[in-house]
Amino acid sequence: MDRITVRNLALFAYHGVFEGEREIGQRFYLDVVVEADLAPASRSDSVDETVDYAALVDVIGKAFSETRQKLLETLAERVARRIFERFPIVQSAEVTIRKPSAPIEAVFDSVEIHIRRQRHA
């Protein structure tokens, strides 16, 4: 399968287990990789036969920000589901969400979750 990747998309949102996180908000970083057969687009040179990058970023942003959630896992699942809904050619989606300001008493770059989902036949 061919791949399209959006790397290090910064989104400000109000997610987290603690109430303060959901009130103040923070920045999150997302990597999204979608797999699809891009051969038809390469032959036709038509954006209609591929996954439009701008539309992909729009879908990711809306899915990530529409409602406040406690868990990154919930958000990653929603992002993957919306990608499948919007782009019929996508066969799999990988979503990584990094949270650099997690309320943990430790020194770290970020915590992250990573999921991979396949389109069901």
CATH number of the domain bearing residue 69: 3.30.1130.10
Model-level pTM greater than 0.85? yes
Spot the catalytic one: 99, 101, 109, 116: 99
What's the domain range around 19?
2-118
Q: How many domains does the chain have?
A: 1
**Alpha helix segments (H runs only) across 25-107:** 39-44, 53-65, 72-86
Regions of the chain with pLDDT less than 70: 121
Residue 31 vs residues 4, 5, 6, 48: alpha-carbon distances, Å = 11, 7, 6, 23
pLDDT for res 76:
98
pLDDT for res 15:
96
The question of whether 99 is a catalytic residue gets the answer: yes
pLDDT for res 120:
84
